[in-house]
Amino acid sequence: MIITVKVKPGAKATQLVEQNGGVMTIKLKAIPEKGKANQELIRFLASHFDVAKSQITITKGLTSKTKTVTIL
C-alpha cells in the first residue's frame, strides 16, 4: 500500500488529525531534527496499521512535510 502523509512536527502529542482525499494528516510530537520526526512517523504508522516498523518505508519526502510512504 502506498499512502501520502502530511506531517506537522513539534505538536503536544502524536495523533492522526484527519484523512481527507487519500492524504493522512498526522501531528508528531518529535521535532524535525536528525530524522526524529521520520522515526516517530514510522512508529505511529506501524502501530496504526498493526505492522512491523521494518515494513514501512518513506519513499519520498524525507525532508519535506508531505511524504509518500510504502507499507508492505
Cell 513539534 belongs to residue: 10
Q: Which CATH superfamily is domain 2-71 in?
A: YggU-like (3.30.1200.10)
The predicted structure's pLDDT at residue 5 = 97
Q: pLDDT in tens for each of the 72 residues of the chain?
A: 999 999 999 999 999 998 888 899 999 999 999 999 999 999 999 999 999 999 999 999 999 999 999 999
Cβ–Cβ under 8 Å, residues 56 and 45: yes
The predicted structure's pLDDT at residue 2 = 95
The predicted structure's pLDDT at residue 63 = 93
Domain spans of the chain, in order of start? 2-71
Cβ–Cβ under 8 Å, residues 56 and 71: yes
Query: What is the residue-wise DSSP string for 6-67?
Result: EEEES-SS-EEEEEETTEEEEEESS-SSTTHHHHHHHHHHHHHHT--GGGEEEEE-TTSSEE
